[in-house]
Amino acid sequence: MRKKILFFLFILCLFPFPVFAEDSARSSIIMDLDSGRILYQKNAHEKRLIASITKIMTAIVTLENANLEKKVKVGEEVLKMYGTSIYISVGEKMKIKDLLYGLLLRSGNDAAVTLATAVAKTEEDFVALMNEKAQEIGMKNTIFSNPHGLDEETKNYSTAYDMALLSRYAYQNETYRKIVGTKKYTVSTGEKTYLWYNRNKLLSTYPSCTGGKNGYTPSAGKTLVTTASKNNLNLTIVTLKDGNPYDNHEALYESFFNRFQNYTVVDKNNFRMDKNFYPGDLYLKDSFIYPLTEEEANRIKTTVHIDSKTKEEKVGEIKISLDNQIIGSLNIYNKEKKTKKEENFFFQKIKQLFRR
């Protein structure tokens, strides 16, 4: 039977989601971009039309499947587009990278269908890629029917929670972050010169905002996805059918930046274990950092499990919980066993050389 040692560091408690009375959205969520923790939600799993925040997925599918420096020729598919556009002309050539700026800064519906056909040859095949990516990310209540978000003929449905998952995924892409964080962009195709200003007003009115995407149709109402960073805390907010999205986002950000901060719950550089419990030289490969309120930080519980009999480099695990709910774990390793493993590998290589 394996010998396990429990080592308690300190205790923590998890509080329920706070009520934010001034939230003007029908559905909303605040998610920490680094840990994925949900700090606040309201009707977050309610399916709704999402309008042009659809284009976040259009951008990600393009970024992951296309050469951004490739020039594409605008086809007749743009002629059927209406609403917000960048007004590219049939036969005009533009780099995919520049079309992405037009897609995300100006919400160009013509840019969306041009990118879709450039990446997947048909809009239908591109939409299939969008839905595949949604399933991969975990967007279980999302269905895309087009790459632009217009909803008079085909409709895109999602939830605040699913769109927060998408925002968090997209935020990991450096090019996406650069584009949505751009306030002004100029491009010339030789046929025309374009000057685009970002339609995400929060980027200009709220200093902590780092990017995002807005949307609107009469059926969906105003939708907005944004990201913001302050004091090393990185958050995303999604609001659907919101009558006052920009003021709402700023108020939500300020409220939660004031309440939460990132705590290093377990620091890999300061991890120590009493030699009476385990004589080996133990270490961690990662630290555990998590957004907490000051009250929560005083009630964290960390439990260490050690297997003294194992011959593997991994000898145990740290489990971190909030009010008896596991929020993360870290593997514990033994440096001595790592060294022996490396030595054995080295000698095996030497033996193989002599056998030749």
Question: Catalytic positions, please?
Answer: 52, 55, 107
Listed in sequence order, the residues at least 6 apart from 124 whose beta carbon sits closer than 8 Å to its beta carbon are: none
What is the arrangement of strands in the sheet containing 209-217, beginning at the earlier edge strand? 38-42, 25-32, 233-242, 221-230, 209-217
CA–CA distance, 125 with 122 (Å, rounded to integer): 5
Contact 130, 142 (CB under 8 A): no
Cβ-in-10-Å burial (0-12, 13-18, 19+) of 285 comes to exposed
φ/ψ (deg, to 5) at 103: -70, -45
CA–CA distance, 148 with 166 (Å, rounded to integer): 16
CA–CA distance, 301 with 299 (Å, rounded to integer): 7
Contact 171, 33 (CB under 8 A): yes
3-state secondary structure of 320: strand
Q: How many angstroms from the chain centroid is the CA of residue 169? A: 3
Listed in sequence order, the residues at least 6 apart from 199 whose beta carbon sits closer than 8 Å to its beta carbon are: 84, 105, 106, 107, 214
CA–CA distance, 219 with 223 (Å, rounded to integer): 11
CA–CA distance, 339 with 50 (Å, rounded to integer): 54
Q: How far apart are the first and last CA of the chain?
A: 43
- The residue among 69, 126, 57 whose CA lies nearest residue 97 is 69
CA–CA distance, 254 with 250 (Å, rounded to integer): 6
